[in-house]
Amino acid sequence: MIVPWLPPGFTANLPGRGEIFFRHHRHADASAPTLLLLHGWTASADLQFFTAYEALAEHYSFVAVDHRGHGRGIRGQEKFELVDAADDAAALVQHLGVAPVITVGYSMGGPISMLLAQRHPDLVRAMVVQATALEWRSTLWERLKWKTVHVIGPLLRSRVFRRWLRWGILRLLGGNHPLEQYVPWMANEMRRNDVLSVVQAGQSLSRYDARGWASSLGQPAASLITTRDRLVKPRKQRALAEALNARVIELPDDHLVAWSSPDAFAKTSVELVRLVLNHTVAG
């Protein structure tokens, strides 16, 4: 099985929270900013960011964390809540002594990064949000869809889903795609998730609504808007960018842009960090 380049992986025991898995790349320049990479729902740090790891590593140090129940993330009895994932990330940043960080939050990682900035503002230098929103519950149709999230549990446990994974990823990528060689690894990584935690994460997302407080965060921000996104509508992404007063880069792609357009995703991620760094220097 062919595995892409991955930074060194570590575990840390966070008192009162559990054992957390993370990857940590240290740039040769000790003054390089440190990014905190926060992945999306049903993904892991590797699945979300492996196509950008090398590009980011050229310029920055970074910590990439697996959220609770996702990938190799914390396993426990507590119900998944976004605030706990944000506090996990805060505890890890403090444990490593790398604050303040620039958060890079993709999809569900966006709310986690915003909650981190709200609850632990001293740990955050700036924010990059990617393919995410202020909320996912403003319409009746959205609220009805979230009420059915529990049905994905049996699906994720089924043998049919496991057999479908490789086929589904290959179909998404299309023929002769540069990531085709990694598909077996990607499918295996997707099976690491704790199904109950994933369902609970979806339920927590369904309750998330930052419309009342996002604009008060006051952090330099930049946003990747995926203009063909069928999961997080572009209008919702733009509403978040406006609330954060974020610099914006748009990519004409869907929600899995990190896989479907890996080079563009990597280049854009580097550029978004550069934009917020310029903003902090200017400020």
Q: Dihedral (C-alpha) 73, 222, 256, 191: value to the nearest 10 degrees?
A: 0
pLDDT of residue 145: 66
pLDDT of residue 89: 98
pLDDT of residue 165: 72
H-only helix segments in the chain: 45-59, 82-96, 109-119, 140-146, 152-157, 159-173, 183-190, 195-207, 234-244, 257-260, 262-282
Residue 146: both structure tokens together? 């979230």
**Cα Rg, the chain, nearest whole Å:** 18
pLDDT of residue 97: 97
pLDDT of residue 166: 74
Torsional sign, CA 225, 231, 233, 239: negative
What residues does 101 pair with on adjacent strands? 124
pTM, two decimals, is 0.94
Query: How do 124-130 and 101-106 pair as beta strands?
Result: parallel
Domains annotated for the chain, with CATH where assigned, are: 9-282 (3.40.50.1820)
pLDDT of residue 73: 96
Whole-number Å distance between alpha carbons of 93 and 96: 5
Peptide bond into 252 cis (omega under 30): no
Q: How far is CA 185 from CA 5, 166, 190, 218, in A?
A: 12, 9, 9, 40
> Mean pLDDT in runs of 10 for the chain (283 residues)?
97 95 97 97 96 98 97 91 98 98 98 98 98 86 65 56 72 88 92 90 94 97 97 96 98 96 98 91 54
Whole-number Å distance between alpha carbons of 65 and 86: 11
Summarised one tens digit per residue, pLDDT across range 149-207 is: 655 655 555 555 566 677 778 787 888 899 999 999 998 998 899 988 998 999 999 99
Residue 87: both structure tokens together? 């506090």
Are the C-beta atoms of residues 82 and 38 closer than 8 Å to each other?
no
pLDDT of residue 281: 56
